[in-house]
Structure 1
Amino acid sequence: MKILVTGAAGFIGNFVTERLLEQGHYVIGLDNLNDYYQVSLKDDRLKRVEHFENFEFVKIDLADREAISELFAEHKFDRVVHLAAQAGVRYSIDNPMAYNDSNLTGMMTILEGCRQNNVEHLVYASSSSVYGMNKEVPFSETDRVDHPVSLYAATKKANELMAHSYSHLYNLPVTGLRFFTVYGPWGRPDMAAYKFAKKIMAGEEIDVYNHGDLSRDFTYIDDIVEGILRTLDNVPTGASGNAKYDNEAVTPYALYNIGNHQPVKLMEFISTLEEALGVKAKLNMMPMQPGDVYTTYADTDQLQQAVGFEPNTTLKQGLTEFANWFRDYHNV
Structure 2
Amino acid sequence: MNSSARHGAGAVDTIAVINNAISERMLREAFARDGISLDRVAMISARKLDLPWLDECAIHLAYPAKPRQSLLEQWRFIAFYRQAAALLRSLLAGGRIRRIYMINVENLLTNHLLVMAARHPEIQVSIVVEGIYNFQEILWRNRARWRLAVKPVLAALLGLRWRTPRGHLSGAFEPEIDRVVSFTDIGLKAPAAKVEVIAWEPVTPTVRPDPKCLLVVHTGLWQWTDDASYLHVARSFVDWVRREGFERIIVKHHPHVPPGQLEELLPPHDTWDVRASMEDLAAEIPAAVIAGTCCTALVTVKLLRPDLRCVDVGADFYCDAAYAGDHSVEHLLRGAGVEIVEIGRPAGDGGAA
Question: Where on the TM-score scale, by shorter chain, does this alignment land: which range?
Answer: 0.3 to 0.5
Q: Give me the TM-score of the superposition, normalised by structure 1.
A: 0.39
Rg larger for: 2
How high is the TM-score relative to the length of structure 2? Answer: 0.37
